[in-house]
Amino acid sequence: MERKKITIPDLLDKKKNKKPITALTAYDFPSASIIDEAGFDMIIIGDSVAMVVLGLENTLAVTVDDMLYHSKAVARGAKHAFLVGDMPFMSYQVSVEEALRNAGRFVKEGNCDAVKLEGASGVIKQVEAIVKAGIPVMGHIGLTPQNATQLGGFKVQGKTSASAKKIINDAILLEQAGCFSVILECVPDEISKIITSKVSIPTIGIGAGADCDGQVLVTHDVLGFYKKFTPKFAKKYADISLDIKNAVEQFKKEVEDKKFPGKENTFHIDEKELKKIKNPSL
């Protein structure tokens, strides 16, 4: 049966019917195609690309152009999942106008269905303007990696009543500003549960417990493809790094042992044609 493209009403229906929303990150064509074929509801082209693909220390250095490059590749592979492009650091903070222009690029050039940006009260005017322009916006609160330095590092947020209340209010503020969904990152599950019951938009958790309306993880964590660090909240379902290491080592050995290329990997010229080369007088 032909699968249809996931829409915002589909995501809202899932929340209403208590059916978990499934999401993963992707940054390239092959992984996006596989995730899409697996039937995920949503793919986020996350600025985590900076760390897990580009090998940077944090997410701050990636640009809109970098993100669009990856978004385009993901969009070529994903035909059904709802695609969310992550607006990078300083692409929306400076002014409403700049935020709007950059959000537009994610849709027009990056082929995304929506954009995601971090924060709440500090960027609420930007959220409102982007939504008003017709571009769906996903919020992102709790641990917001783009200002991890201000937060004292990559730490769980909302552990005191004051900071938990702020996260709850931020979620409500984002819903009122028109966000269609909100990511809750590294938030105690009791707080995610309160937020999920208070807002009518789907909450998508990453390190935010089982009571969110959906779950997202960074694909490289799920696959064991980022060896530097795996967060406590992530679950490794494969060890792709080991599989790749074994495969490339085997290739190297077969080249050294002259076992590769085999006959089946080799092209041949017709015997008659070969003779003409070896004996030009023929």
Q: Which active-site residues does the annotation give?
A: 185
218 lies in the site for ligand KIV, by CB under 6 A: yes
Residues 216-223: contacts with CB within 8 Å, 24+ apart? 216/23, 216/24, 216/25, 216/42, 216/44, 216/183, 217/24, 217/25, 218/24, 218/25, 218/46, 218/48, 218/52, 219/24, 219/25, 219/26, 219/31, 219/35, 220/25, 220/48, 220/52, 220/53, 221/52, 222/24
207 lies in the site for ligand KIV, by CB under 6 A: no
Distance CA 150, CA 279 (A): 77
Q: Is the torsion defined by CA of 245, 251, 255, 259 positive or negative? A: positive
Of positions 206, 212, 222, 223, contacts ligand KIV by CB under 6 A: 206
Of positions 36, 41, 86, 221, contacts ligand KIV by CB under 6 A: 86
47 lies in the site for ligand KIV, by CB under 6 A: yes
The CB-of-165 to ligand KIV minimum distance in angstroms stands at: 22
Q: Which is nearer to ligand KIV, 57 or 257 (CB)?
A: 57
Q: Which is nearer to ligand KIV, 34 or 148 (CB)?
A: 148
Per-residue binding string, ligand KIV, 111-150, x by CB under 6 A, is: ----------------------------------------
183 lies in the site for ligand KIV, by CB under 6 A: yes
Please provide residue 86's backbone torsions phi and psi, each rounded to the nearest 5 degrees.
-90, 120
Positions touching ligand KIV (CB under 6 A) are 25, 44, 46-48, 86, 183, 185, 206, 216, 218
